[in-house]
Amino acid sequence: MELLDPSTPLISLAAAAIDSETTGVDPAHARIVQLASIQVDGVAIHRERSVQHLINPGVPIPEKSSTIHNIRDADVADAHTFVKIWDIFDAFTGPRVLIGYRTGFDISVLKRECALADIGWRDRYWICVQALARLLASQQLATESLESLADRFDIAITDRHTALGDAQAAAEIWVAMIPLLRRKGIRTLGEALSASQAMLNDGSQELARESAGVDADVSELKPADYPLRIDSYAYKKRLSDVMSAPPVFASADLTLQDAARLLIEKQVSSVLVRSGDAVGIVTERDVLRSIAADVQGDDYIRLRSIMNSPLHAMREDRHLYTAMARMNRLGIRHLAVSDDHGEIVGMVTPRNLLRARASEALLLGDEIEAAEDGGGLAAARAKLSKLAGGLLADELDARSICAVISAELCTLTRRASEIAEARMLADGQGSAPVPYAVMVLGSGGRGESLLAPDQDNAIVYEQGEPGGPEDLWFEQLGGHIADLLDEAGVPYCQGGVMARNAAWRKSVDGWQETIDGWVRKSSPQDLLNVDIFFDAAAVYGHPALADKIWRHAYERAHKAPAFQALLTELARRWNSPLGMWGFRTDAHDRTDLKAGGLMPIFTAARIMSIRHSLPARSTVERLRRAGQADFMSDAAVERTLSSHETILRAILKQQLADVNAGVPLSNRVAVKTLSADERSALRTAIRDIDLIVDIVSEARF
């Protein structure tokens, strides 16, 4: 039975709260007289899914122990022995993480019972709520009782000193701690285990041994395995690459016979039908079934009566794997493809998807779209690391992997927006007062996200004044979106770049006025804001609104040489992480490869795009277009893109290693852990950044 992936978020963690009552307090000699467990999924405690067993220990129960748990020899005389109970208990807890109060003691006595019964012990993750409570409070809590711990979280204990009563108390304390741990940056199983293990260094050896780990001793995490070599075709290609275009439309009044002739003539397996405001689809199977079932003659049957509506569609820039997962979830064989404006521009069928044959490798699939709350979003988002690891093992280039990560994070924001809208409606706030769009900014908009994104999002709405009824509605919506994303593992933006804040929530006119101010009288903070705004991409709502202000920003900046000069100065401030004796490192022996590598590249590419009026979002597209317009040589473009790829790959590999180790994710890389070839390639990549910085610095203003 495999251990859970360390990247599993606590909010969706499958756990089992456990407790045991024993003959004594010395784990080297104690025997179990009662054992209980209750299942916990995320923040849901399943009281109806619990087990509790009395166990005959085979030795007398000391009176001093009986006075605590009130279990005496007569109570267990007819009870089963441990060996008969263990299979039931082991199957009940399964691969779940074991949660409890002073869990190390319970694990120790369980292991000893298994050894005495000649039962093999399998590794399992376990966590002690007392230890994590100590981390939250930054206090010495090694001797704090279960009662006082429960009191701190306003939890009433029932049936104290029974195994099930104490297990339930531990479960309730655990659930209460999850949001508090999240605020401390402890979001995943790996991070919780790693944080607990860190107590080995603070002198509290006894508590550390009982805090968390695998087996009775604190040990290294079991790393997530990436044995699956994913067929990366479905992650490289987008719907626009494989769709059949243009789609075939048919009149709603067409008869079945005429529809059959049209399908044969156009050599397609479906036609789209407009009936009033509705758009539906009729497939060849629909026609055949209707002809076979018709007893009056198919001349009386019209397409409007058999079309399936509403039509399921996805945007043409979505990856193939998302279409495969959507079609599988919905049980459909035809999926419409739309452009940025919602117009249907093509169709995708199983024939189009035939090459994307690794159905078992669709690790993330359509789960984000199907999520109903923050826990569901978190469970889906947690699969990103394993997906990225599988794609890396398949030797897919890092930029393509980042594009997949970005696409899923955009989907996460879109789904959070949908759930937030539904919550507003359920709370009696009504639907959106005016059309609007939710945008992602920065790396998400560029399609270059790694595994440690912030919430960089904004809202543009059609009309309304700051503090007016429209703005107040969107303020609440932005708050819901931010909370859902934080629960899902995308932390609140430390810089406040979130739609719940007024600075990132404006009407079309308000945004245009703000952009004009940025360009006209830029301050250092304005430059940081503009930096990510030029990467904005709509993920929900009315994309035309977002596109309007994005293009306005490009037009205004293109006509402002002084503004471009300020942006260029940002790029020129780049400080290479390479020193005389190698890579400069921080106190943790790591090098920040975003500030020292990625930032000058995407900043310079953005400047080129603005200066030469080449509107684009991704760094690759900006550099390619600059090369095509002869503002950069082909050699310079390729060297810069090679640097970009090398640095992205180094950060991505480090983040995957950190996920496994429970280390909070960042853009800092332990360069010394790279192979000699990888270090050499990274040094070359960093040195070549001078090329793009020099190109943008040589411009005449």
Identify how many contiguous H helices and E strands the chain contains and give both numbers: 29, 20
The predicted structure's pLDDT at residue 356? 47
The predicted structure's pLDDT at residue 234? 77
Least confident span in 47-61, 228-242, 480-494 = 228-242
Q: What sign does the dihedral 127-131-132-133 (CA atoms) show? A: positive
CB of 106 within 8 A of CB of 30? no
CB of 109 within 8 A of CB of 22? yes
Tokens of 180: 């508090």
Quick one: 671 exposed, middle or buried, by C-beta within 10 A (0-12, 13-18, 19+)?
buried
Q: What is the DSSP string of 374-433?
A: HHHHHHHHTHHHHHHHHHHHTT--HHHHHHHHHHHHHHHHHHHHHHHHHHHHHTT--S-S
Question: Closest Cα partner for 611 from 574, 559, 566?
Answer: 559
Under the banding of pLDDT at 50, 70 and 90, the label for residue 88 is very high
Residue 303 above 50 pLDDT?
yes
CB of 283 within 8 A of CB of 270? yes
Residue 358 above 60 pLDDT?
no
List phi, psi (to 5°) of 240: -65, -20
For 470-521, how does the pLDDT look when each residue is reduced to its tens digit (9 = 90+)? 999 999 999 999 999 999 989 999 889 999 999 999 999 999 999 998 888 7
The predicted structure's pLDDT at residue 446? 94
Q: Is 396 helix (H, G, I), strand (E, B) or coil?
A: coil
Q: Is 245 helix (H, G, I), strand (E, B) or coil?
A: coil
Question: Closest Cα partner for 141 from 157, 156, 153, 158?
Answer: 153
Q: Which domains does the chain have, with CATH numbers?
A: 10-214 (3.30.420.10), 233-361 (3.10.580.10), 560-701 (1.20.120)
Other CB atoms closer than 10 Å to residue 502's CB: what's the count? 15
Q: Is 457 helix (H, G, I), strand (E, B) or coil?
A: strand
Under the banding of pLDDT at 50, 70 and 90, the label for residue 201 is very low
Please tell me the distance from the alpha carbon of residue 299 to that of residue 311, in angstroms, as a whole number: 25
Residue 127 above 50 pLDDT?
yes
Alpha helices in 60-203 (DSSP H): 63-69, 73-76, 82-93, 103-116, 129-137, 146-152, 163-183, 189-197
The predicted structure's pLDDT at residue 360? 39
Please tell me the distance from the alpha carbon of residue 134 to that of residue 144, in angstroms, as a whole number: 9
- Return the amino acid letter for 106: D
Q: What is the number of alpha carbons within 13 Å of residue 4 lying toward its C-beta?
A: 27
Specify the DSSP class assigned to residue 333: S
Question: Closest Cα partner for 572 from 684, 695, 443, 682?
Answer: 695
Q: What angle do CA 159, 165, 169 make, to 5 degrees?
A: 115
Please tell me the distance from the alpha carbon of residue 165 to that of residue 37, in angstroms, as a whole number: 10
For 148-165, how does the pLDDT look when each residue is reduced to its tens digit (9 = 90+)? 888 888 898 888 889 999
Under the banding of pLDDT at 50, 70 and 90, the label for residue 661 is confident
Give me the chain's average pLDDT, please. 87
Average pLDDT over residues 305-330: 86
Q: What sign does the dihedral 404-406-412-417 (CA atoms) show? A: negative
The predicted structure's pLDDT at residue 364? 63
The predicted structure's pLDDT at residue 213? 59
Please tell me the distance from the alpha carbon of residue 14 to that of residue 9, in angstroms, as a whole number: 10
CB of 287 within 8 A of CB of 263? yes
Helix axes 383-393, 374-381, angle to 10 degrees: 20
Please tell me the distance from the alpha carbon of residue 415 to that of residue 417, in angstroms, as a whole number: 5
Residue 229 above 90 pLDDT?
no
Other CB atoms closer than 10 Å to residue 547's CB: what's the count? 19
The predicted structure's pLDDT at residue 143? 53
